[in-house]
Structure 1
Amino acid sequence: MNIPLAYMVETFCTLAAIPSPSGNTEKAIAWVAGELQRLGVSCVRTNKGALLATLPGATDKRCRLLTAHVDTLGAMVKEIKGNGRLKLTAIGGFPWNAVEGEHCQIETASGRIYSGTILTTKASVHVYGREPQKLERTDEVMEVRIDEKVSGKADVRALGIEVGDFVSFDPRVTVTESGFIKSRHLDDKAGVAILLGVLKQVKQQQLLLPYTTYFLFSNNEEIGYGGNAGIPANTVEYVAVDMGAIGEGQTTDEYCVSICAKDSSGPYHYGLRKQLVQLAEQHRLRYRVDIYPHYGSDASAALRAGYDVVHGLIGPGIDASHAHERTHQESFANTGKLILAYLMAPMIAGQGGVA
């Protein structure tokens, strides 16, 4: 089973470099829309600013939907401090220590971009001694040091920076010779890149899918409601393509496609999960079934919104989620191959799905 792995990796690297914290995703969505156009896939914008692409299949009476999200973690200016630094409020769920010392950029309402660094208020060991080690990283002690000559509020405001401006984190994308991909925002720009790679393969091979399939590129997943609207009424199966969580007690690794059995929202559809496992085994893919204890997806958000769909969750195994993440190209390949196999397979029979 062929997939365009090099294209997927290149697409991820390009997309990761486009800042898109939840609430400010227009540039990333526009880039994806342009890429879909280049691939010959039609799409429309939803009212929430997401993209819904359509691949016609042999029937459109019962359809599938796959989703991945372009939005990422980020921050917003909460306060301009008297010393000319910026106090932040987080966008999405992450501990402040995960971005301490990270380069960032501030985007003003007029579109001006300024660079900075995220630090604690007591960053200097030569001044504060051991105190920085003991400091609890909270909103109150984190700030942005702006790379401009500023010493007070007036100087900062003269730059056009105001409360409510978005702050994004430098992804620092690296692809190693050994095949690892190190970057922020693999969650979930990896999923977006993989879906685009699958679309590229389907179009190049002129494959006829058994069912019309929608691809939703959502833009508010990190704040809980990216994929809970804009779902066509004839959708029967809904699969989120998002990161597989790695850590102590997990089965997922950086080389597999992770198939989620349960997350904080509860179990995913058992029949669909079993079908995904069967497809992975049939195609001799490296896969793991896992439970993600502190996790929610666009698929679970759709169920909470009341959609009557069979739901599933798969994705590449990603280490250090919501920090500086890492995966391997093999996980891209295994995930893409499982998606392609799923798209060509019949819908599940029995409860919640009719073949």
Structure 2
Amino acid sequence: MKHYKKYFSIMMLIVMIAAVMMACNSGDETSEDMVDTEETEQKVESFFPFLPDTKLFYEGEGSEYADTVVYFDYIDNHQAQRRRQTAGTTIGEVIDREEGIVSIRYSEEEFYSFFPLFEEEPNREEILLKEPLEVGNEWVLEDGRKRRINDVSAQIKTKYGEFEAIEVVTESDEAVQLDYYAQDIGLIKSVFKVNGDEEGIVTQLAAIEENIPWEVNVRIYYPEWEDEGSLYENHSIEFRTNESIEEKLTAYLQKEPPVETAAAALQESMVINRLERNKDEQQVKVDFNAAITEIGMGSDFESQMLQSITNTLVYYFNVESVVISVEDGPYETGHFYLGPEDFLIPDNENAEKI
């Protein structure tokens, strides 16, 4: 009996110790989870996310150009390409998000096409958000304006909903701007006021559409079989985040036109390998696979094919000329030779709309 009591006491002691250890471990895990959550909430990634295949609609007051639609064309690890469409223009921007800083490094107005801008030389350096995400954190912009975090729990109401947001204040001698960032969404509201203006220009989040493409207008040209001219047809192409412009344009240039007097500019075996735009020279370089020079065709039709490709790319990229290469070498057939210094210009004189 004594042995039984001693055994029972030892077992109870073991159970109690185990229970205490489990409680401690559970407490530690909960504490770690809380710390991790807190750290995540304080990272710029949480308040400036890159959202693929998502349209953010902002309604504005105080200006006809305040209404805005935002879309991320390309996302590549720490950088993203964002387009902002207003009634006045569409702006393409390259945004870096690394080492606790979100900044715009490239910006281009009148940007209506869909192609990557990551290789463009930086023309802007504006820090939008910066860690630590704490009240009082302040930095100075290139143009001399001062930007600071003024609140980390501002209660903001928008047409899309109510949020707890980070308030960022930007001040100059003439004006003040308030930007509000909410977790998992990003910018939800902006207020811009010139000194003495009580109402200002207000832009607020009104709707979000997920799993949706961006539509871009393109004009596809087709060579005619008999006449020395071409036909064209306007299309609205859907692009999703990170979709290849080369694949999209190849597919449309391979499509047969809805008339029997013309043909597709590219046969099925012909593929665009790469597209490069030189903004300063207003020129696009297009590299094809070898099939474009391996299929024999008459000189008249080949000339119209090259002209149709040129007209299509000039219209899409809004440039002045096109350089064509094949597997990084010259375009060479029995009728034409185009080297790296040779370029083609658009010719729409005999083009007719289908």
* TM-score calculated relative to the size of structure 1: 0.27
State the structure with bigger RCO (CA 8 A, min sep 6), 1 or 2: 1
Structure number with larger C-alpha Rg:
2
The structure richer in strand per residue is 2
* TM-score calculated relative to the size of structure 2: 0.27
